[in-house]
Amino acid sequence: MGLFEPVWQSDDREKEAKAVEYVRKTTNQAKLAKIAEHAPLISVRQEAARKLDNPERLIALATKEEEFWVRERAMSSLPESMLTQEMYADLVIHTPMASSSWANSVNALDKLTDQAALLAVINADKKELENEFVRWKAVCKLSNQAVLAQLVKDSVYEDVRATAAGMLSDNALLIDLARNDSSWRVRRAATLQLADYKERQEALIDLLNSLDALPYGAREGLVPLVAYIDDKDKLVEYADKKWYEPTLHKDEIRERLIEMGNIAEAIIVSPGHFEKYKQSDTWKLLLTIQDKDLLRKIAQEAKCDRFRWKACKLSGGHVFDETATNKCKCVVCGLQQHTGGDPENCIVDDDGRSWICERCGGRVHTPSFTSGYPQSSITYDDGSSEFLYGYDGMYYGESELFLDDDEYGK
């Protein structure tokens, strides 16, 4: 650079402040246009663009300049009436979230109405468009069904495809997407968009039936769909699935069954919550049931031993067959009760405690409990033995007083 060349032509960062100040004092529009186009330092070019008042020159900068921040400054200098949809799209795509100009980008997004400009935002490379929310909002502003269908078919972004699928009205296309698309997000969106009740129910069941083969993240995203299922038998079936950690979908299924009025099934699928089970809504719901047939159904089918035990008691009490091989197994709920384990009847040693069951004569041994599940072994007179474990006192050999106490309600 020559010795006497103007400071705005310098690429020396130490002279940047002087160059910006020089531009601030410049009033010649031709010179400002030249600086805006050719200055080596971006901040100098931005300042020149800010001072320009010639619309033609500003439009040229806003549409043809390679450096975004010069384009952005030129657009901010134009009156709003002269800003085009392409300019708005440019602002939306290229303004970084951390920039002080981010508010201008949000405003520009609100101004976008042109389909081509919206598609430019939707299809922008992730290296350019940082905020996926912006991409999603641009999809939501579309209304043309053909364009939405094309996005579902061709977009490289799964979230775009899913959002577009959730806006379609073509029933045949929605059914095809719900059943056959490779993306579970697209299938979910298409399924929930189906207008026909029967088709939506079938698609929901088809989608949930495929969960076992899907990755963990997909299961977590799809399990809430059980809230839309109206098939009682399917809900009970899904409650046995081990879809994801560990019982959340069982709670959702229980709530759905309650909404549908299937109280017994809701209790049957409910998991127990350890020693706090008597505080649960399910336990309180069980205590309201008066129908003996429903109670026996729960006693026979409930997943939680506590609910089976209580339903059996409420239905009329345990029934033991004195002629059966195992006299201590209730023929209604299938749980065992070995009586005689009161402290005065027990032999206590370092390895736990033992007693002789008053009903079957078996020797019950309960090891000292440290952690994990309580457990017991029973040795019968004929030499056979059995091993039981669980949290219900009567289930692993202790008295039913544990289950009848008032600590967490009756």
> The sheet that has 363-366: what strands, in order across it?
347-349, 352-356, 363-366, 375-379, 385-389
Residue 303: pLDDT band with limits 50, 70, 90: confident
What DSSP element (H or E) covers 378?
Answer: strand 375-379
pLDDT at 410 (0 to 100): 40
78-114 pLDDT tens trace: 999 999 999 999 999 998 887 777 787 888 999 999 9
Select the more confidently predicted residue: 282 or 409. 282
Average of pLDDT values for 349-376? 76
pLDDT at 272 (0 to 100): 65
User: What is the percentage of the chain residues whose pLDDT exceeds 90?
Assistant: 49
pLDDT at 409 (0 to 100): 36
Q: How far is residue 27's CA from residue 272's CA, in Å, rounded to a whole number?
A: 79
pLDDT at 193 over 60: yes
pLDDT at 386 (0 to 100): 81
**CA-based nearest residue to 53, from 34, 72, 33, 69:** 33
Select the more confidently predicted residue: 156 or 388. 156
Contacts 24+ apart (CB under 8 A), 257-261: 257/232, 258/285, 260/230, 260/232
25-83 pLDDT tens trace: 999 999 999 999 999 999 999 999 999 999 999 999 999 999 999 999 999 999 999 99
pLDDT at 212 over 50: yes
Average of pLDDT values for 292-312? 90
Q: How far is residue 27's CA from residue 54's CA, in Å, rounded to a whole number?
A: 12
What is the CB neighbour count within 10 angstroms for residue 348?
Answer: 12
**Among the listed ranges 122-131, 187-196, 348-357, which one has the minimum average pLDDT value?**
348-357
Average pLDDT, the chain: 85
SS (HEC) of 12-74: CHHHHHHHHHHHHHCCCHHHHHHHHHHCCCHHHHHHHHHHCCCHHHHHHHHHHCCCHHHHHHH
pLDDT at 402 over 50: no
pLDDT at 392 (0 to 100): 40
Range of 236-240, 254-258, 275-279 with top mean pLDDT:
254-258
Rounded CA Rg of the chain: 36
Residue type, 166: G
pLDDT at 276 (0 to 100): 60
309-350 pLDDT tens trace: 889 989 998 888 888 877 888 899 888 888 777 777 788 877
pLDDT at 370 (0 to 100): 53
Output the CA torsion sign for 366, 370, 375, 379: negative
User: CB-based contacts of 353: which residues, under 8 Å, 6+ apart?
Assistant: 346, 347, 365, 366
pLDDT at 279 over 80: no
pLDDT at 341 (0 to 100): 72
